[in-house]
Amino acid sequence: MGKLGTITRRTLLVGTAAIGAGVAFVAWRVNQPLENPFRGNPDSGDTALNPFVLIAEDGTVTIVVPRAEMGQGVTTTLAALVAEELDVGLSDIAVIHGPASSAYYNAALITSAMPVEPWDDGMMADGFRQFAGIVGKVMGMQLTGGSTSTRDAFDRMRIAGACARETLKATAAEVWNVDRSTLQTRNGSVIDPSGPRSVRYAELASAAALREPITDIEPRDPSEWTILGRSQHRVDVPAKVRGAPIFGVDMAFDEMLYGTVAMGPLPGVKAKKADRNAALAIPGVRAVVPLSSVYGEGFGVIADNTWTAFKAREALAIEWESEESYGETELNAAFDEAFDAGGGDVHRDDGDVDSIFSEAAEDDILAADYAVPLLAHATMEPMNATARLKDGKLDIWCGNQAPTLVRRFCAEGLGLDEEDCRVHTMMLGGGFGRRAEFDFALYAAQMAERTDGIPVKVTWCREEDTRHDLYRPPARARCRARLDGDGAIAALDMQLASPSILGSLMGRMGMSAFGQDATMSEGAGNQPYRLENFRVSTPEIDLPLNVGFWRSVGNSNNAFFMECFLDEIARSADRDPLELRLSLLDGFEPAKAVLRKVGEMANWQGGSVGPNRAQGLAFCFSFNTSVAQIVEVSRDDDERISIDKVWCAADCGLVLDPAIVRAQLSGGIVFGLSSAMMQEITLKDGAVEQGNFDTYPMMRYHQCPSIEVSLSRRQTFMGGVGEPGTPPAAPALANAVAALTGERVRTLPLNKAVTFA
């Protein structure tokens, strides 16, 4: 957590504004240093805007959150930060995503008081963290780097709540002619114990809006907390259980049209032939329109309902002018070439790796190559957006992780000013990084140009979603270690080859990439392991396909390489994999503590648990959170492997809501296990082979292990929780399978080598 004392040293601007008869409290701050124990102390330099605490005349407290709810519980935790200071119940607070409410839109006063628009801060997509600062500066957008988004909100939300509380108290103090410090607040009222008398916030709101806000206030000490630090009922759960129409795909108007898209197999590939007439002959089909973007070329179909649009998409029977015959052979060749050429950015270079290896006898060197495939996000809610272009104004409704990107590129695509494009963020039926892009919104916008002001809801079919993702890059590792006679690692050299996400992203944004792409080595090069001689370099390959942010980004592949190779080193040196890691983590207690803890939870005995049963261990420090996991697997008489149990010990510093943190880590584990067990995207003849869930499956109920999560708190800084559960899952499973079968599988998914029950 942020040290409370530092808050007052920051520049804090706090304002109030009247909205109707209510009041809005606005808080933001400038220039907050980023704390990262392994990367020096870079200055994120971002201007963090938000939040708004709105108290309407009917007493409703609304907070405007700049982040998208995609299941990570962010709306609940951010509301809790405000509720804690404002002395209102969590259930009494409404949370809205940016400018979705008309009350908010009309609050011109607020917007004009801001240096930039408030929803700009919404660019906190998980995957953007590593180079958010760079992209943000280049594009003039508000990005918050690293896991600081939590810390950032942690201070700002509480300050906003505290300012609102104290200003309301000051208003009451004036009316009652008493000293503000004698007043208390409880359940949405200011209370004067000497009266005793009390007044509801609602009655004070309009007067509070007229006064200078109280700003010299510190948030409460955690020891006084009654909401934070305890598991809360999530504010988004009731609607989700009721089946309420809250997702992008649920957008509805009295008069509307429906659509879908049919895009080319690779960016830039155009249609050679399309049977538009066949599509238009289907009753209910209104139009077939060409679509074009940096993501690809193709068609949009507009119809009276989604099903008819899906049918028309098939009727188009498009032939693509596929000059590109890219496939697995080409991909293999690209990797071979990259490794042969060597080079690439060097992300870590401790000691003198080359000379240690040059002096080594062949027998002392352990070498292994690993490979992981492209992966799709497969959000359960397929890509979709609803767009309306009316009177020169574009409105877009969609779940998204990056509203500013959506606005900017949709406006640009239609030749509009950004002010004429409004983005309404809906709940996300899964994000995992996929909805940090803007393709789905842009296509809907292009189709809205053809519907005379009538909104069109454009829903992708699953095949389209799987084949037009921004994939987790394929990656391969060439690892070498020199072992000492006593089993210590004298030197470790890791070449991590992959396409660059940063390069792919910048290409889509029309910019050239610069600097190192930290995502290419994160999960390996940035780990707290201390080795005297340790080098991580990242040769880059080209790919004719877009790659993007996939839950935990580079950690998802690099932790697999790092943690599997450490396991192999331990086996070959006859050391316990847990003990080996502990010996490398000297100086970073939180990591050692989670490893010891997970060992205790699983009753770790080095990996073997008797016949037909084994355990595997892995660790990863990602997004400022230390996570250690042990996976236990067993084998039945038919050699089919079940994943029976996962133990997870994590330290993300201060925990604001234990149940949400556990749920996130547990969900991240399932996500990682799914990929390790069975997921891969492959290319053939210049197209993605997989389409629906029958070819790109995910873990099902009966395959899901029981998962036990333990949280500890030794870290003095806060970490993220949405992603860090994912990286250790795949290597822990692979290590368990190796312990079970005695054979090391170095290529994912594992089901190419073993069978899962």
Partner 1 sequence: MKLTVNGQPAQFDVDPEMPLLWALRDVLGLMGTKFGCGIAQCGACTVMVDGMPRRSCVTPVGSLEDASITTIEGLAVGDRPHPVQQAWIDEQVPQCGYCQAGQIMSAVALLEENPEPSEEEIARAMTGNYCRCGTYPAIRAAILRASGQETGPPAANASERTIDRG
Window 413-452: residues binding partner 1 (CB under 8 A)? 427-432
Distance from C-alpha of 55 to C-alpha of 69, rounded to nearest angstrom: 22
Which of 237, 367, 380, 511 is the binder for ligand FES (CB under 6 A)?
380
User: Under 8 Å CB-to-CB from 410, ≥6 apart: which residues?
Assistant: 387, 394, 396, 416, 421, 423, 438, 441, 442, 445
Q: How far is the CB of 450 from partner 1 (least distance, A)?
A: 19
213: partner contacted, choices ligand FES, partner 1, none (Cβ within 5-8 A by kind) = none
Counting residues that bind ligand FES (by CB under 6 A) gives: 3
Exactly one of 704, 741, 747, 751 binds partner 1 (CB under 8 A); which one?
A: 704
Q: Tell which positions 214-233 bind partner 1, by CB under 8 A.
A: 229-233
Question: Which residues are registered as beta bridge partners of 690?
Answer: none
Which residue has the CB atom at the shortest distance from ligand FES? 380
Residue of 6, 11, 91, 706 interacting with partner 1 (CB under 8 A): 706
Q: Which of 525, 667, 686, 724 binds partner 1 (CB under 8 A)?
A: 667
Q: Is the peptide bond between 528 and the residue preceding it cis, with omega within 30 degrees of 0?
A: no
> Which of 15, 20, 327, 430 touches ligand FES (CB under 6 A)?
430
The entry of ligand FES, partner 1, none that residue 501 binds, CB within 5 to 8 Å by partner kind: none
Q: How far is the CB of 380 from ligand FES (least distance, A)?
A: 4
**Residues between 342 and 401 that touch partner 1 (CB under 8 A):** 378-382
Site string for ligand FES, 244-283 (x = CB under 6 A): ----------------------------------------
Q: How far apart are CA 460 and CA 441, in angstroms?
A: 11
Q: Who contacts 416 (Cβ-Cβ below 8 Å, separation ≥6)?
A: 392, 393, 394, 410
d(Cα 397, Cα 422) in Å, to the nearest integer?
Answer: 9
- Choose which of 119, 247, 561, 623 interacts with partner 1 (CB under 8 A): 247
| Angstrom distance (rounded) from CA 297 to CA 383 | 17
Comparison of 75 and 626: residue with beta carbon closer to ligand FES: 75
Q: Which does 9 bind (CB under 5 to 8 A by kind): partner 1, ligand FES, none?
A: none
**In one letter, which amino acid is 377?**
H
d(CA 482, CA 356) in angstroms, rounded, equals 8
User: What is the chain's length?
Assistant: 757
Rule CB under 8 A: which of 84-113 touch partner 1? Answer: none
Partner touching 180 among ligand FES, partner 1, none, CB below 5 to 8 Å by kind: none
Contact 451, 568 (CB under 8 A): no
Q: Which is nearer to partner 1, 614 or 661 (CB)?
A: 661
Residue of 237, 281, 317, 341 that binds partner 1 (CB under 8 A):
237
- Contact call for residues 264 and 296 (beta carbons, < 8 A): yes
Biggest distance spanned by C-alpha atoms of the chain: 86
- Residues in binding contact with partner 1, number by CB under 8 A: 77
Shortest Cβ 667–ligand FES spacing (Å) = 8
Which one of partner 1, ligand FES, none interacts with residue 44, CB within 5 to 8 A by kind?
A: none
Q: Which is nearer to partner 1, 141 or 447 (CB)?
A: 447
Q: Where are the beta strands (DSSP E) in 391-472?
A: 393-398, 421-425, 456-459
Continuous segment of H or E residues that includes residue 130: helix 129-139
Distance CA 295, CA 281 (A): 29
Q: Which structure tokens are listed for 567?
A: 């396991």
399/382 Cα distance (integer angstroms): 10
* Residue nearer to ligand FES on the CB measure, 335 or 671: 671
- For the bound state, the minimum distance from the C-beta of residue 11 to partner 1, rounded and expressed in Å, comes to 33
Binding of residue 20 to partner 1 (CB under 8 A): no
Stretch that binds partner 1, among 21-29, 560-568, 579-587, 702-710 (CB under 8 A): 702-710
Q: Which is nearer to partner 1, 283 or 515 (CB)?
A: 283
Nearest to 101 by CA among 56, 59, 69, 71: 56
Partner interacting with residue 322 (select from ligand FES, partner 1, none; CB below 5-8 Å by kind):
none
Strand partners, 640: 755
8 Å CB contact between 76 and 43: no
Q: Which does 698 bind (CB under 5 to 8 A by kind): ligand FES, partner 1, none?
A: partner 1
Cis peptide before 51 (omega within 30 of 0): yes
Closest CB 732 distance from partner 1, rounded Å: 15
Residues 278-337 that bind partner 1 (CB under 8 A): 283, 305-308, 310
Q: Which does 692 bind (CB under 5 to 8 A by kind): ligand FES, partner 1, none?
A: partner 1
| Residue 701 interacting partner from ligand FES, partner 1, none (CB closer than 5 to 8 Å by kind) | partner 1
Encoding tokens for residue 95? 């949370």
Q: What are the C-alpha distances in Å from 188 to residues 86, 91, 146, 196?
A: 8, 12, 35, 16
Residue 646 and residue 618 in contact, taking contact as beta carbons nearer than 8 Å: no
Selected binder of ligand FES within 71, 133, 248, 599 (CB under 6 A)? 71
Please tell me the distance from the alpha carbon of residue 420 to that of residue 393, in angstroms, as a whole number.
5
Whether the bond between 499 and the residue before it is cis, its omega within 30 degrees of 0, is no
CB nearer ligand FES, residue 430 or residue 606: 430
CB 444 within 8 A of CB 396: yes
Judged by the rule CB under 6 A, the positions of this chain that interact with ligand FES are 71, 380, 430
